[in-house]
Amino acid sequence: MLEILVCSLVTILPDYLFRRYVQGKRFGKEITFFSVWFELRWGIVTCFMLTVALITVIFYNHPSTTSATLYFRTVAIVPETNGRVAEIYVGFSDRIAKGAPIFRLDSTKQEAAVEAARRKITEVEAGVVVARAELLADEGKIQEARSALEQAQDELRTKQELRRRNEATVAAREIERLENTLAGREAALSSATAAKEAAQVRISTLLPAERASAEAALAQAQVELDKTVIRAGVTGRVEQFTLRVGDIVNPFMRPAGILIPEEAGRRGLQAGFGQIEAQVIKVGMTAEVACASKPWTIIPMVVVGVQDFIAAGQIRGGEQLVEAQQAVRPGTILTFLEPLYAGGLDGVTPGSSCIANAYTSNHDLIASGNIGTTRRVALHAIDAVGIVHAMILRLQALAFPIKTLVFGGH
């Protein structure tokens, strides 16, 4: 309607004024309802053509969409293991800080595993004490074996000296017995020394390894115990949390609730523009949005990203071929918008439905001086007609509450 009024100012209105005041024709006499088409046919046709051309220029170079939403992500509240709920720390809808507990599963099994790991560490520590005591005992045995060996050596040397002086004094059988005794004492000393070395290896290597294994088992058991307490990964709000004590929670089949991050839906919105505007939407374009949750407010935005593929064309590998006719609805060009000024989205509820306009600007190209006069005038005209779309957006924002509350029956 606004485009028709603008175009009529340079077509139908001058035609009517010429016939009314120059030719002297009067409205209701010479100019009647039946003669309007014949009298103003050139103006009407020209107005219609200009209107179509103006609408095409406006909507192509300054695209608009009603498919704009402040999308936000949600985090499913699920444990890492199955279990029965033992305790709940939040309500159905509650604010929660990062790291705060949400609920706890029954941890009897995990606590038993932790206690068993601790007892294993205590057992290894007791083994160290016993090994040190055994080491002292082995040192005593070594000293005893060394003394017995020295005594056997002295006795053998004495008998050998007596036999050297007088063979009749000491029998050969006695010498052999002493030599066998000496060999036994040397073996006893070697055995005691080997036992001491084994005790030292056990204290320095085996028992520390067993302790490290026990500590690792304790850490693993503690991790499993910690998993029974489900905590918030981010600061936000817990919503639709219907879990109760005694419920069985399965991480694959039954989430406990939803956690909405605090910053979700606060930074920007996503808008889907028509595919025909793929060559027009560019990063850096200025835009404006009007959202249902914040009526009578126009929020300046800027395009910060344009998705370079259309979601409607995605396929998933399977056992059937893709039929092109199954894609009934054409997809849109997903565009990411952020506020031009800090705090621009304050007061806009995440998930709110919005109307978005993007505006083409050819100022840099015009100011460069590298284009001809005709093209410069055309680009000026394209930038200028953007005000029509801006006026339409403001009329929509003005009429939206009335349309919704009065005519929508809400």
- The residue whose two tokens read 């109307």 is 355
Exposed, middle or buried, 389 (CB in 10 Å: 0-12/13-18/19+)? buried
Please answer whether residues 27 and 20 qualify as being in contact, where contact means their C-beta atoms are separated by less than 8 angstroms.
yes
pLDDT for res 337: 92
Question: pLDDT tens-digit profile of 110-129?
Answer: 888 888 888 888 888 887 78
pLDDT for res 382: 83
> What DSSP character marks residue 28?
T
3 state DSSP class of 375:
helix
pLDDT for res 168: 61
Please answer whether residues 351 and 265 qualify as being in contact, where contact means their C-beta atoms are separated by less than 8 angstroms.
yes
| Nearest CA-CA partner of 117 in 207, 21, 31, 214 | 214
Spatial distance between the Cα atoms of 93 and 258, rounded to a whole number of angstroms? 10
Domain 62-72+265-312+330-403 has CATH 2.40.30.170: yes
pLDDT at 74 over 60: yes
Percent of all residues in the chain with a pLDDT value above 90, rounded to a whole number: 7
pLDDT for res 7: 65
Pull the structure tokens for residue 61. Answer: 């170079």
Spatial distance between the Cα atoms of 86 and 229, rounded to a whole number of angstroms? 10
- The residue whose two tokens read 């020394």 is 193
Question: pLDDT tens-digit profile of 169-211?
Answer: 656 676 677 667 767 767 777 777 777 777 777 777 777 888 8
pLDDT for res 215: 85
> What DSSP character marks residue 260?
E
Amino acid type, 1: M
pLDDT for res 226: 87
Spatial distance between the Cα atoms of 128 and 209, rounded to a whole number of angstroms? 12
Q: What is the largest CA-CA distance in the chain?
A: 175
pLDDT at 362 over 80: yes
Question: pLDDT tens-digit profile of 271-316?
Answer: 999 888 888 898 989 999 999 888 889 999 999 999 888 887 777 7
* Lowest-confidence segment of 180-184, 304-308, 385-389, 396-400 by average pLDDT: 180-184
> What DSSP character marks residue 184?
H
pLDDT for res 175: 67
Spatial distance between the Cα atoms of 133 and 56, rounded to a whole number of angstroms? 97
> What pairs with residue 288 in β-bridges?
300, 357
CATH code: domain 75-106+229-261 is 2.40.50.100
pLDDT for res 12: 67
Average pLDDT over residues 146-170: 68
pLDDT for res 35: 67
Please answer whether residues 140 and 199 qualify as being in contact, where contact means their C-beta atoms are separated by less than 8 angstroms.
no
Task: Give per-residue burial for 211-242: e unless 16+ CB within 10 Å, then b.
Answer: beebeebbeebeebbeebbbebeeebbbeebe
3 state DSSP class of 113:
helix
| Nearest CA-CA partner of 214 in 128, 116, 112 | 116
Percent of all residues in the chain with a pLDDT value above 70, rounded to a whole number: 85
Spatial distance between the Cα atoms of 54 and 3, rounded to a whole number of angstroms? 7
* Lowest-confidence segment of 75-89, 141-155, 356-370 by average pLDDT: 141-155
pTM of the model: 0.67
Spatial distance between the Cα atoms of 24 and 370, rounded to a whole number of angstroms? 50
Average pLDDT over residues 350-371: 86
Question: pLDDT tens-digit profile of 3-51?
Answer: 666 666 666 677 777 777 777 777 666 666 666 666 667 777 777 787 7
Report long-range pairs for 319-325 (Cβ below 8 Å, ≥24 apart): none
- The DSSP result for 282-315, as a single string, is -TT-EEEEEETTSTT--EEEEEEEE-SS-GGG--
pLDDT at 251 over 90: no
3 state DSSP class of 15:
helix
* Lowest-confidence segment of 300-304, 350-354, 401-405 by average pLDDT: 401-405
> What DSSP character marks residue 79?
-
Pull the structure tokens for residue 334. Answer: 């997903």
pLDDT at 391 over 90: no
CA torsion sign, 126 to 127 to 131 to 134? positive
Spatial distance between the Cα atoms of 209 and 221, rounded to a whole number of angstroms? 18
pLDDT for res 171: 65
Question: pLDDT tens-digit profile of 84-120?
Answer: 888 888 888 888 888 889 888 888 888 888 888 888 8
